[in-house]
Amino acid sequence: MLTVKNIHQYYGGSHILRDVSFEATLGKVTVLLGRNGVGKTTLLKSLMGLVPIKSGSIELEGKPIHKSTPYERARAGIGFVPQGREIFARLTVEENLRMGLAYKSGSTPIPAELFELFPVLKQMINRRGGDLSGGQQQQLAIARALAPKPKLLILDEPTEGIQPSIIKDIGRVIRMLADRGDMAIVLCEQYYDFAQELADDYLVMERGEVIARGLGKDMEAQGVRQLVAI
Ligand SMILES: Nc1ncnc2c1ncn2[C@@H]1O[C@H](COP(=O)(O)OP(=O)(O)OP(=O)(O)O)[C@@H](O)[C@H]1O
Ligand SMILES: [Mg+2]
């Protein structure tokens, strides 16, 4: 679904991403791990087109997208859940979900399925985003990204600052979405146990480089917990 080859990225003179290559496959969760500041968010933003890459290529279903705008990439089927959620605090839950459909035709309904995945959003449909708890906001951000039915879902640290019961719910939804087989998921995580539970494939980054990769089931044996321990 997604093929990333040899990408390099710089902020001013700092070389942030160094020759990063990986693939994300339909029906699988590809987990990206790494300590603070190693370039995880930068990598995810470059997939979405929010930061430009200097060299390398990004393909979605075999088509190059690295010259496309974020808007075009969203239309091509990428859903993005940013670190820190970035929901619209003054808009209602319903309006936030409609923002996820902004580039579809005006009459596209909010898929009912989103309320099955996250029942709390139904209860709070008229509440302002800013009045939700952190965990509810994260569920809203995920639902907003799912609204246009992406083929590739990218999540940047969805468990950050969230209570355990909601983390469990989010994990269940991610697994279920992957198991349906029609979506590839890239999940960036620093919460090791959550990452390990969900990973079909994993990558570990350090200083902008991929330093380890493999199958999720081998993470413990391959010492990934130690690699990312703070
Ligand atoms: N807009 C920017 N301009 C300049 N440098 C930046 C910018 N954004 C990030 N950086 C730097 O790039 C490096 C990688 O940052 P990035 O946010 O990608 O890391 P991260 O792995 O997502 O970290 P965290 O786990 O804290 O979210 C860091 O050294 C950071 O200070
Ligand atoms: Mg980050």
Confidence of residue 125 (pLDDT cuts 50, 70, 90): very high
Give me the pLDDT at residue 105, please. 75
The whole domain housing 26 covers 2-84+148-228
Query: What's the gap in Å between 116 CA and the centre of ligand 1?
Result: 35
Counting ligands in written order, the one closest to the CA of 52 is 1
Q: Is the pLDDT of residue 173 over 90?
A: yes
- Please report, for the domain that includes residue 14, its CATH number: 3.40.50.300
Q: Which pLDDT score is estimated for 157?
A: 97
Q: Is residue 217 part of a domain?
A: yes
State if residue 191 touches ligand 1 by the CB under 6 angstroms criterion.
no
- Find residue 14's DSSP bridge partners: 11
Give the number of domains in the chain: 1
Q: Supply the pLDDT for residue 188.
A: 98
Gap from CA of 155 to ligand 1 centroid (Å): 16
Position 136 in a domain = no
In a domain, 173, yes or no: yes
Name the burial class of residue 59, with classes exposed (0-12), middle (13-18) and buried (19+) by CB atoms within 10 angstroms of its CB.
Answer: middle
Q: Is the CB of 208 under 6 A from ligand 1?
A: no
Query: Is the residue at 154 inside a domain?
Result: yes
Ligand 1 atom nearest to 157, measured from its CA: 27
Q: Is 42 in the pocket of ligand 1 (CB under 6 A)?
A: yes
Q: What per-residue confidence (pLDDT) applies to 106?
A: 74
Predicted local confidence at residue 200, as pLDDT: 98
Instruction: Determine the 3-state secondary structure of 152 from DSSP.
Output: strand
Per-residue pLDDT tens for 134-149?
999 999 999 999 999 9
Does residue 113 sit within a domain? no
> Cα 223 to the chain's mean position, in Å?
24
Q: What is the C-alpha R_g of the chain?
A: 17
Q: Whose CA is nearest to atom 16 of ligand 1?
A: 39
Q: What is the pLDDT of residue 108?
A: 83
Q: What residue's CA is closest to ligand 1, atom 8?
A: 42
| Ligand 1 binding pocket includes 13 (Cβ within 6 Å) | no
State pLDDT tens for residues 150-167. 999 999 999 999 999 999
Whether pLDDT at 189 is above 90:
yes
* Domain presence at residue 184: yes
Q: Is the pLDDT of residue 181 over 90?
A: yes
Assess whether pLDDT exceeds 90 at residue 28.
yes
Q: For the chain, give the mean pLDDT.
A: 95
Under the banding of pLDDT at 50, 70 and 90, the label for residue 47 is very high
Distance 108 CA to ligand 2 centre (A): 32
User: Residue 37: pLDDT above 90?
Assistant: yes
Predicted confidence (pLDDT) per residue in 86-116, tens digit:
999 999 999 999 999 987 777 788 999 999 9
Across the range 203-228, mean pLDDT stands at 96
User: Is 138 part of a structural domain of the chain?
Assistant: no
Q: Is residue 52 part of a domain?
A: yes
Structure tokens that stand for 79 in this block: 């859903």
User: Does ligand 1 come within 6 angstroms of the Cβ of 34?
Assistant: yes
228 lines ligand 1 (CB under 6 A): no
